[in-house]
Amino acid sequence: MFNSKIIGVGHFVPENIVTNDDLSKLMDTSDEWIQERTGIKERRFYTPGEKGSTAIMAFKASKLAMKRAKVTADDIDAIVFATLSPDYYFPGSGVLLQEMLKMGTKPAIDLRAQCSGFIYALSVADQFIKTGMYKKILVIGSETQSVALDLTTRGRGMGVLFGDGAGAAILEATEDNTKGILSTHLHSQGEFADVLCVREPGTNKGGKVIYEGQHEMYDLISPQMDGKLVFKNAITRMPEVTMEALAKNNLTIEDIDMFLPHQANLRISQMVQRFLKLPDEKVFNNIQKYGNTTAATLPILLSELWEEGRIKEGQLFALAAFGSGFTWASALIRW
Ligand code: UT7
C-alpha cells in the first residue's frame, strides 16, 4: 500500500476585488454588518466579459502547483475536480482542464460535495494512489460563484458570503507510510439537502430546466440557505470530524501543528477553534480576503501557506470542512 504525499500546491484568484462597500452600492447591506457577522472584508469576482471560468482558474492554479512540484502535465495520471459551479451543466469542468493541460486521454473525475469538495477529492485521489492504480494525481477545487449570486437586497443573505477562486494540489505515491495523507473521514446527511441548495437546472420536477426572464431565473438558480441551521451544524460537525481523524491515528489535539478550517464564516472558524482549544498560531483563516470560495478554500489556504514558507517537513495538518448536502469531512496530513 502506498501513501499520498502532496508535492505541490497552487492557487489563482481573479484580480477584481469587490469590497463590502462595493456591495452596499448594489444592495441594502453594510461593511459593518458583513464584518461583524462573517469576518469578510472583500472577495474576488470575475469581471463580467473577462475571459474566465472555473476551468480556466483551475488551469492557472494547476500550472503553479506543477511548477512548485517540479512536474509537468505529462507526469500526471489523473485529475479529480471538485466544484459546485462547473463551466457547463455537463460535462464537468475536469475534462475542460484535461484538454487545457493537453493530457491526452487521461481520466478526469468530477466531484460534487460543495464546501467539503476538496477533502472529498483528496480522499478519492488518495484511494487511487493507495491501491497503486495511479502515481500522481492533480486535485482541484475551483469555483466561479459570482455569476449565480443574486446581488440585490433580496439575495443579500447569500450574496455577501461567496467569492471566486481556484486551488490545486498534486499528490504523489510514496512508500513511506508515516508521511502524506494519514486518513480522510467523509460524512453526508441528505435530509438537509434543501437547507442549502441551488435547485435549477435540475430534474427533480421532471420539467423544463430553461426559464425565461432574469427575475424568475435568479429565484431558481441562485443559492438558497437556512443560515442559522447551517451555522449550528457546522460548529458541531467540524470539531467532531476532526476528533474522529485524531482518534483514528492515535493522535491528540496537541499534535496538530496547523488547523485549516473550511472558510464559510470567520465566526464558525473561531467557534470550532474554541471547541478544539487550539491556539491562534495554529489556525489559518483567509476568508477576510476571499469570502467563501467553497471547494477552493482549502487548497487556496494551503497554497498561501506554501508561498509564505510556513509548511515544514514533519508538521501535522488537520483540515476540516462542512457544507451543503450536508456534507462534512476531515483529513490529517503529515508533511
Ligand atoms: O459553507 C457553508 C455555507 N454557508 C455557511 O456556512 C453559512 C452559515 N451561516 C452564517 O454564516 C450566518 O447564518 C449568516 C452570516 C449567513 C447570517 O447571519 P445571521 O446572524 O444568522 O443573520 P440572519 O440570517 O438571522 O439575519 C439577521 C438579520 C435579518 O434581518 P431582520 O429579520 O433581523 O430584520 C436579515 O434580513 O440581518 C439581515 N441580513 C442582512 N443585513 C444586512 C441578512 N443578510 C444581510 C446583509 N446585510 N447582507
Neighbour tally for 102: CB within 10 Å = 9
H/E element, 151 = none
Q: In 3D, which of 229, 227, 204, 205 has the Cα closest to residue 155?
A: 227
Q: Which one from 3, 11, 20, 115 is the annotated catalytic residue? A: 115
Model confidence pLDDT, tens digit, residues 191-249? 999 999 988 777 776 555 555 554 555 566 677 899 999 999 999 999 999 999 999 99
- Helix 297-307 / helix 117-130 crossing angle, nearest 10 deg: 80
Q: In 3D, which of 143, 162, 141 has the Cα closest to residue 151?
A: 162
Cα(291) to ligand 1 centroid in Å equals 14
What domains appear along the chain, each with residue ranges and CATH number? Answer: 3-177 (3.40.47.10), 181-334 (3.40.47.10)
Assess whether the C-beta atom of 25 lies below 6 angstroms from ligand 1: no
Cα(326) to ligand 1 centroid in Å equals 19
Cα(158) to ligand 1 centroid in Å equals 8
What is the mean pLDDT of the segment spanning 64-75?
Answer: 98
Determine which residue's CA is closest to atom 2 belonging to ligand 1: 323
Pick the atom of ligand 1 nearest to 225's CA.
Answer: 4
Rounded Cα distance, 81 and 136, in Å: 14
Assess whether the C-beta atom of 292 lies below 6 angstroms from ligand 1: yes
Q: In 3D, which of 327, 5, 58 has the Cα closest to residue 178?
A: 5
Q: In the chain, where do the E strands start and end? A: 3-12, 17-19, 42-44, 78-82, 108-111, 136-143, 165-174, 180-188, 196-197, 224-225, 258-261, 316-323, 327-334
Residue 205 has a pLDDT of 63
What is the mean pLDDT of the segment spanning 145-164?
Answer: 93
Whether residue 22 contacts residue 193, with contact meaning beta carbons closer than 8 Å, is answered with: no
Rounded Cα distance, 222 and 65, in Å: 31
Model confidence pLDDT, tens digit, residues 89-143? 899 999 999 999 999 999 999 999 999 999 999 999 999 999 999 999 999 999 9
Assess whether the C-beta atom of 265 lies below 6 angstroms from ligand 1: yes
Rounded Cα distance, 118 and 80, in Å: 9
Assess whether the C-beta atom of 157 lies below 6 angstroms from ligand 1: yes
Assess whether the C-beta atom of 66 lies below 6 angstroms from ligand 1: no
Determine which residue's CA is closest to atom 26 belonging to ligand 1: 157
265 is known as an active-site residue = no
* DSSP code at position 259: E
Question: Length of the chain in residues, anyone?
Answer: 335
Whether residue 35 contacts residue 21, with contact meaning beta carbons closer than 8 Å, is answered with: no
What cell was used for 105? Answer: 486521454
Model confidence pLDDT, tens digit, residues 244-287? 999 999 999 999 999 999 999 999 999 999 999 999 999 999 99
Pick the atom of ligand 1 nearest to 23's CA.
Answer: 48
